[in-house]
Amino acid sequence: MEPIRVKGRTKPYCELGKLLDILARSRDVRGPYQIAQHLEYANGYEVSGQAVSKYLYGNIGPKRAFVEAFADAFGLSEQERFELAWTYAYGLPIPPDKKLIALDRSLARG
């Protein structure tokens, strides 16, 4: 993923921000203000675009309610929810071996 240009310097999204951006873009929602609008439209969760931007860059961490609202508003799959929860909790991308465990569990239920 390309770093984002901010006021003459390059600052990449934090790990959670990268994942939130990827998940939103996969559903044709781009940018913090559009994410905020989508959350309000989809499930009535109110958050400012400025706050979402701070979440994406890691300036502040989102509350759990935001993560839950995001998952619901974007209709995340069980695997995507697992990855989002992992990244929210640990601030790191989910290790490949954990992806397989989550996928195995979801296939066993299905």
pLDDT tens by residue, 30-89: 999 999 999 999 999 999 999 999 999 999 999 999 999 999 999 999 989 999 999 999
Alpha-carbon torsion angle 35, 39, 40, 44, nearest 10? -170
Instruction: Tokens for 66, please give them.
Output: 């935001």
Domain range summary for the chain, segments of one domain joined by +: 4-109
Fold of 4-109: 434 Repressor (Amino-terminal Domain) (1.10.260)
Read off the pTM: 0.80
Which of 30-54 are b and which e, b meaning 16 or more Cβ less than 10 Å from the residue's Cβ?
A: eebeebbebbeeeeebebeeebbbb
